[in-house]
Structure 1
Amino acid sequence: MKFLSAFFKKIQLFQSAPTQFTIFISLYVAFLFLGAYYFPTIITTILILPFIMISAYRWKIVGGIISSIWSVILMVFSSVTHHHTFLQDLIVSLSSYLVIGLLLVILYNYFESQDLKLKESKTLYRQLFEQVNDVILIVDNEGKIVNCNNVACNLIGYSCNQLLSKNIKEFIVPRPEQMNQLENMDPQSGEWSLRDTQGHEILFEVTITKLQNGLFLGTGRDITVKKQMEEALQSEWKRAQTYLELVQVIIVALDNQGRVALINRKGREILGFESEEIIGKNWFDYFIPKSIRDSTRLYFENIISGEIQSFEKHENYIVNKAGKEILIAWQNTFLYDNTGKIIGTLSAGEDITERKRTENQITEQINTLEVLYKLSNEFTKTLNLKERANEIVQTCVERFGVCLAWLAQVEPGGRVKIIAQYPLEHSYPQQIKIRWDETPEGQGPSGRAIRSGTYQIVEESTTDPSFTPWKVQAMQAGFVTSAAFPLISRGRTFGTLNLYSKTPGFFHPERLELFQTIAHHAASSLENARLFEETEQRLKHIQVLHTIDMAISGSSEPMLAQKVALEQIVQRLEVDAASLLRYDPQQQTLVYATGIGFRTPAIEKTSLKLGDAFAGQAALERQIIFIPKVSEHSIYYQTKLFQDEGFVSYYAVPLLAKGRLFGILEIFNRTLRIGNEEWCDFLRSLAENVVIAIEKEELLYNLEKTNALLIETYDATIEGWAYALDLKDRETENHSKRVTELTLKIAREMGIEEKYLVHIRRGALLHDIGKMGIHDSILFKPGKLTEEEWKIMRMHPVYAYEMLSPIQYLHSAIDIPYCHHERWDGSGYPRGLKGEAIPLSARIFAVADNFDALTSKRPYRDAWPVKEALDYIRKQNGKMFDPRVVEVFFHLDEIKILHKEKPST
């Protein structure tokens, strides 16, 4: 049983052996078991089997023969010993040899296959050993080199055989910390230096493995060049870091998540942070203004994703530690990994905040000059006050970035009337009440600007106490700051330009200077337009008065003239209705006479005692009564007339002449209408004409005298215009009066009838009326005019014609204002008339005008001596002037006297 147990143990032991070896052992054990019990010969044969095996493997066939002879000897010895017959032993032996032969074949094949595999394994191992590019050394525990590859031989400079006789300690150049490891042969992986046969040190990155047989396997890679490159790179990196720290631009590198990987000294200075406060932080979360953070981050993400292929130049704001926004101009490039994938960005940035501000200032100044130039040109194209005002406010909004602009004119009683605004749809101007007196509504920027004559600023509309009356409306509109600029002409403030912005600090000094310049130009332009419109209005007033006058003088029916007067009143004063109440001195009552513009006949029943109602009070007090809101006077508003007609405001004008009351002129409006001073003056003039119409009934016999008085009034008005023109140009003061007198003298000498002289006189007084349409910058230019300015200046006769031609009363006086710059030789303007094609009155005036102009001081020259002026007139005889007129001019007594006088020195 012990034997069986041992047998099975052997079987278990070799279960993992190759197949051939397992079969051999199994059969060997079986024969041993059988021989032990039956045949000693078999046992003897089996016992010598290992020797046969070893001999056969070691010495092949020869060993097999020797082993066989030795086995026969043992067999014979065994048979003799155990008393078997020779034949029995022979049979058993032969049988055993057959089995043993089979076992030997199996065993031989096994050994041959193992030997082949071993050779192949050694060959493969050596190939691998020699093929690797790293140094391979195997040493024993004393440091002696046991094996090596060709790479090791080549690097150290020995052949393989030479190297195998060496100790590794002969080549190692240890660092101090590696000395103990080398002495104790306990080296560790890391960087080691070897010295070759030439004495050169070679740096290796070594990995050391201790083998089971007490040997050490060392593999090493030559990193000398790599180390040199690393050192070179480190040196270059330090140099690059020095450059980065010295350059005066921001250098910043971001990874693909937007985190700061690198920033130089300049970047740290601008941001105001230390390096450790910046590195690793997300650039967009910490250093980009909140207003552009999302858009800038999206732009960066598109760059990293490859959607944006190029972003070499870019500008954006960054924010520093103090919260200040700084504009940076970037030069950018991509950062790639070894596979060509974008892993970040590298950017160089320059602080251009100040440069950009300067550029913007220059651009703004250029734009300002362009706008001012264009405005000046635009101002010369129209003399319409409303159009000019609209152009000014629209320009302030569209060109200069204000949110709202409005322009207002000063009115009596502290009132301020807005005449233009932009944008038109903005409701703010209609929501506020502005005055220029000392009331709370007059303490704002507009009122202060009008009273002081200087611009006024409200830096913060929500906190400025002076802006309290308009605080709520300003907050609703979003206005933060505002400014008011007075409009001043000839020392008189006649309006204000108000501007509003939603941007804090919008009205900085440069902008204030700009808007002040605009206000100055606007004031000049608006004043010219106002004077022009005022002149036009006065001319229209004269035409209206003349129309009424013609109705009075041309009709024998007094009521017709009164109706015409009321029609003109309603039309020219732009009111809704007007009525005439005649005064009956016997009954002391005011009775309805005629009216126009009424919807019901209620007015026709009017009959009032003196002192009753508004009309009776005006008659009693003999003063104009104005009721802006009739509804506030409940007693009178309850009357059927005001209720049915819907009248809101009312005027009652006493019709007086020579202290006598003729009646009351009533003016009605269905909307609030407050007339200015000029309107009221015109109303008085119309009322006077109504009085005249009424007086005609009583004073028909004195009609010619009345007409003469009217003509005198007209002429006085014309003289007033001429005087106004002279006042506008102080250098030519009284020019119109002098030249008119001289013109009339020449005309009388030439035999022109007196009935025509009145028209010559009016024309001479109005000769420069067209200059109202010329901009002051041209009209009063001290130097020589440009060609473009001359073109504008030469338009003033045309303007005069356009102004005067609609007025029938002045048709006969147009020749001088229209033609006084024509020349005898045809070289004049505006039509280039020649010779007698020029009206005679204009030819006469031309001589008188030039003589007075030459002998008067002008802005661009001193007055000529009289003799030089007379010589000039004589030289221009037949060129500029009519020879016949020149001849008469020199025959005037006063000219003869002047001609005989010696020139002053």
Structure 2
Amino acid sequence: MSELPMLLSDLQLLRQVIASSAVGTVITDALQDDHPIVYVNPAFERLTGYPAAEIVGHNCRFLQGHSHDQPGAREIRKAMQQQQSVTVTLRNYRKDGTLFYNELSLSPVRNAAGTVTHFVGFQNDVTAREEARHHEAQVHQQLISTLNRMTDGFVSLDRDLNFVYLNAAAAAISGQRPEDFIGQHLFTIFPELAESAVFQTVQRARETGTAQSAVSYLEPFGKWIEATAYPAEDGFSVFTRDVTEHHQDQEQLRMSEDRFSKVFQASPMPIIISRLSDERFIDVNEAFLDQVGYLREEVIGRTSQETGLQVDRVDRDRIASEVSEGSPVQSREVRLHTRSGEHHDMVLSLVLVELEGEPCVVTLARDITAEKVAQRILEESEQRYRRIATELQRTLDLSLDMIASFDAAGCFVTVSEACQQILGYAPEELLGRPYLDFVHSEDQDRTAQEEVSITAGHTTITFQNRYLHRSGTVVWMEWAAVLLPGDSLMYCVARDITERRAAEEDQAYLAAIVQASQDAILGVALDGTIRSWNTGAEQLYGYAAVEAVGQSMALIVPPEFHVEESEMLERVGAGEWLNPFESVRVAKNGRQVPVLVTASPIFDLAGRVIGVSKIAQDISERQSARNEIQHLNEHLQQQLRHVIGLREIDQAIASSSDLTTTLGLILDNVAQELGADAVTLLLLDPHTLSLEYAGTRGFTKPLQGSTVRVGNSLAGEVALSRKALTVPDLQHASISPAWHEVLTRERLMTYYGAPLLAKGKVLGVMEVLHQEPFDPSVTWLETFEMLTAQAAIAVDNAQLLRELDRKNLELRLAYDETIEGWARALDLRDRETEGHSRRVTEMTVQLCQQLGLSSEKLVDVRRGALLHDIGKMGIPDAVLLKPGKLTEEEWGLMKQHPDHAVRLLSLIRFLRPALDIPQYHHEKWDGSGYPVGLKGEAIPLTARAFAVVDVYDALTSDRPYRAAWTRERTLEHIRSGAGSHFDPEVVETFFQLLGG
């Protein structure tokens, strides 16, 4: 029972919605035989003029008068029998007898068991729309009549290439009736058109969105047809013309197209529910979404202003104010903006209701945009017809040909815009003037005779004459004229053929130029037969034209180039333009002539390839020069590789102390630059007088017995003689069995060895071996000598660097021993700290390493730690060795020892980097230390680390005035000093180092 109030509320809401609707609503009882009316709303009463009391209980058919058998009535009866929804348009009569067109949307209403109990109908007055549609049909018929009187064919196709319309002229081209085409697919009737230029024109029009023209031979008709395709929103319009007699390329005729409009079908009534308080949408029906184009989630929870539906705020606020007062708002006209930006004129009816305790507004909307458009159509029907005629003329004006009509006196009646382009005159300058005024004086009589011929009964004629352009230049025109039976006007289409006639003259000039060219110019059929042969060909090949024409290209093409010639003919025959390529031809005297050949296709008027144009130029001298340049370039590249290789070796010698890497680079360059199959490099040990292999290239296995005595084997002979050695044939050389086995395994035949000499000393031997007999050039020997010298320099530099490193190491050891001696001397002076320097040095180095210092920096840390108290050498013994407490003055002297250390050590350059510990190891983290009073990270890290180690060693060592502290007590003291005396992070690292 708790749901009953809600159901009653919903029922009341529905009644209010229907009663306030601007659309006529009628409900009939489907359970009774004649479906009597049980309910009509006020809008229905206003629409029909009948009050509800007069029509309830009757069938709605009385509104149809005597037109019970109209198509809409039959559809209604069928839908009611099948219990389905239907929307129809009916001719109805009001109570006063006036006719109106009624759009009825009828739907069945079912009960919970699915049984149809009622039918509900929504009625709209669409009289204006139907009258506009009737007028459109009249205009359409007038346009069809105009198109059917045209001599050119006109075809309208939809987007799927189905025939929508074609005029009599278009049907006549194929010899069929127009009705045989309507609704048929283009390729169903003419499958051959799928590959034709006509269909390609339609495709290009679709892709580019612009008019496209083409001329093509259509096999189904046996005719040449010029077609111009115009794209439209709903398909294509194609103008066709029979140009069989002309066979001309690129003839275009831009014919007019007509766009047949379709009446937009009204959607069911949109309904909106919104809150009164904030005007936000609570719910909308599908009809509303279809009307405005928004998704449901895009409007729910938003206002009409936020969605942009209703932008007139004054109108919106006025309606909201009236609704909030509680009175329904009936038939209020507003303008709504759809998502796509369109404007729709709507009639709104609003009523205030309460939903779930909250006041809401129910809005019913009816789109009257079509009705307004229909009213404008009725008012402007005559203007529309004129605009259509104007558009048709404008379409004709798009044609590149001049389309004109003449009266019996030979004066212009109409003329298209093309006259401006062709003759330089605007159409209005020609209208009413005799055409003979513009014809060349020499052609006026002949042109007048043509006019007499057509008026005498010749239906259509075609002729050419000369017109005078406004500028005075001559324009050649080709005319097609027709005189329609019963019509006093003569209709003509004229085309500017000035360029075509000029092209024919140019062709004659071109033939003369070809004949005079010094290059060989041939015309060749697709089967390889020579068709033309100019003077240049006679001079190049030695054959006269009478000897060559009619012969196969095999006459001048060598057998080894027959395949190339065949492939060339095939490619050009497919329409390809070949880039110039080099080939060889045979002259009459048997001499082979290198030529540069250019080949291009020859087309006929239909665009088909019928032959090949070939131009051959003698490039004998050019080829010789190119070969010379190539030879010089190869030589230059080789020299450049030599220079680059030497530079890489120089860089390796200068930048790398790794002799193995440098020698490897040298061996790679030797193998590459000298084309060696195997390379070895041996270094001399002056102590053992033996040669050891430092590197090899090209051997499949490592060399066994890698030591060679000086004087033995080929390398030993080179080292002993200090001269290069060449062995052309190793099979006959005096070598050891082991070396002979290696040479046999590697199939090495020739040998070249050279000593590595530097500063008069033999440093080693370079060996180069080949698997084939080899006769070296002077350049090769110079390169070998250069690379050998580079190897000697590299070895000498490496030996010098090793010796220098050894001396540096000895010097560093001497420095460190001296410093350790100073530290021991300090310990001997101050016996209380004996061994202190050594211990703190080792621990400080470990701590700094833990803190991340580099190995190079640790060297300075070690030296600084050893010399941390070197400044005490400047402190008097009475102060330094005093057993008791120092006075303030004595303590002031003691604090000067860091400054003494700076003055002493700063004079020694290699000890300057080690000054941080001697100078700052008494500074404290909080800034209370000496000698400078540095604070925090301003104290060098090495000094902060040493301060911790120094205190740790001092407290854990015995002193005359106290015993050593325990390790635990000392660590606790250091931890308590973190943040005041010591760096906390250093203290933490120190504890990690000690494992606690």
Q: TM-score by structure 2 length?
A: 0.20
Q: TM-score by structure 1 length?
A: 0.22
User: Which protein has the bigger strand share?
Assistant: 2
